[in-house]
Amino acid sequence: MRIMITGNMGYVGPGVVQHLKASFLSSKIVGVDSGIFGHCLTADYHPERRIDSQVYLDVRDIDEEMLEGIDAIVHLAAVSNDPMGLRYEAVTEEVNQNATIRLAEMAARRGVKHFVFASSCSVYGFANGSARSEEDAVNPLTAYARSKVGAEIGLKRVAGNSDIVVTALRFATACGFSSRTRLDLVLNDFVASALATRHIAVLSDGTPWRPLIHVSDMARAIEWAIIRPALSDDRFLAINVGRDDWNYQVAELAEAVSSLIPGNIRQNQQQRPA
């Protein structure tokens, strides 16, 4: 199997490459990434040594010929958080939404069988009360979340007009170690701050809920999506990916980290970006 992974040089990508290489032993993996965070290593080795070829390219510039012979695309490349989306709204829409749909359209024309899209639980917006299911309406509140919803709408259309099986994995907020660990994500931020400064800054009243997922579980979900059969005629599936019992309030996370790495928790009323 030949797999293209876009955005493989970020936080989630290295674990996905490692997992897919172990799961599909004869697979060939090509990475496509502009390399924005290439130098941000949190391990003493380069994770790209695990893949068969690395293309340094903006996903907006992928040529259709590059998809010849590819069986599955795992599309991770994105402007990947709310603060960047707020500052670069047009680019967020171009990369996360327009380039995603264009890539899926090209993939469908070239006979790629599976397209796996890294969507986000942020499509549900601010949730009061019970956890959101796929049956609930989306309510994107940020440019980042709107771009994920827009991409899903376009991907559903592509799947409806072709034979490609498309899976939009609505991931919870990631946590855990990667060879390019992101420290802007809530639990990683708390652990890193506690280790480095003995202080944890909670930029809200601590009540917001955060569904979490370990990066290695994201890789397992991607493996499933790469080979899942189409369900009836509907080749598009948007599915939440997380765990019911990994849904925490921010204050609980701060307390948990502080019980393991003693220090101070600073709390203020300012709303923390997602």
Ligand X SMILES: NC(=O)c1ccc[n+]([C@@H]2O[C@H](COP(=O)([O-])OP(=O)(O)OC[C@H]3O[C@@H](n4cnc5c(N)ncnc54)[C@H](O)[C@@H]3O)[C@@H](O)[C@H]2O)c1
Asked if 173 touches ligand X (CB under 6 A), the answer is yes
> Between residues 181 and 193, which has the closer beta carbon with respect to ligand X?
181
Residue 47 in the binding site for ligand X (CB under 6 A): no
Among 1, 2, 55, 58, binds ligand X (CB under 6 A): 58
Q: Which of 5, 11, 151, 221 binds ligand X (CB under 6 A)?
A: 11
The minimum distance between CB 244 and ligand X, in angstroms, equals: 17
Question: Any contact of residue 36 with ligand X (CB under 6 A)?
Answer: yes
- Inter-helix orientation angle 143-160/99-109, to 10°: 20
Give the binding range for ligand X (CB under 6 A) out of 57-65, 103-111, 124-132, 189-197.
57-65
How far is the C-alpha of 230 from the C-alpha of 244, rounded, in Å? 25
Restricted to residues 63-122, the positions that interact with ligand X (CB under 6 A) are 76-80, 95, 118, 120
**Nearest approach, Cβ of 122 to ligand X (angstroms)?**
7
> DSSP string covering the chain, please?
-EEEEETTTSSSHHHHHHHHHHHSTT-EEEEEE--TTTT--SSSS-GGGGSSEEEE--GGG--GGGGTT--EEEE--S--SHHHHHHSHHHHIIIIIIHHHHHHHHHHHTT--EEEEEEEGGGG-S--SSPP-TTSPP---SHHHHHHHHHHHHHHHHHHTSS-EEEEEEE-EEES--TT--SSSHHHHHHHHHHHHSEEEE-S-S--EEEEEEHHHHHHHHHHHHHPPPBTTB-EEEEEES-GGGEEEHHHHHHHHHHHS--EEEE-SSPPP-
Among 171, 190, 236, 248, which residue sits at the site for ligand X (rule: CB under 6 A)?
171
Contact flag: residue 214 with ligand X (CB under 6 A)? no
Q: Which stretch binds ligand X (CB under 6 A): 11-19, 47-55, 222-230, 264-272?
A: 11-19
**For ligand X, the closer CB: 92 or 161:** 92
Contact flag: residue 181 with ligand X (CB under 6 A) = no
Q: How many CB atoms lie within 10 A of CB 123?
A: 25
Q: Which is nearer to ligand X, 182 or 235 (CB)?
A: 182
Site size toward ligand X (CB under 6 A) is: 27
Return d(Cα 106, Cα 124) in angstroms, integer: 28
Q: Which is nearer to ligand X, 78 or 165 (CB)?
A: 78
Residue 168 in contact with ligand X, rule: CB under 6 A: no
243 vs 266, which CB is nearer to ligand X?
243
User: Closest approach of Cβ 32 to ligand X, in Å?
Assistant: 6
In the complex, what is the shortest distance from the CB of residue 266 to ligand X, in angstroms, rounded to a whole number?
23
Query: Environment class of residue 98 by beta-carbon count within 10 Å: exposed (0-12), middle (13-18) or buried (19+)?
Result: middle
Q: Which is nearer to ligand X, 122 or 193 (CB)?
A: 122
Report the interface residues with ligand X, using CB under 6 A. 7, 9-13, 33-37, 58-60, 76-80, 95, 118, 120, 171, 173-174, 182, 185
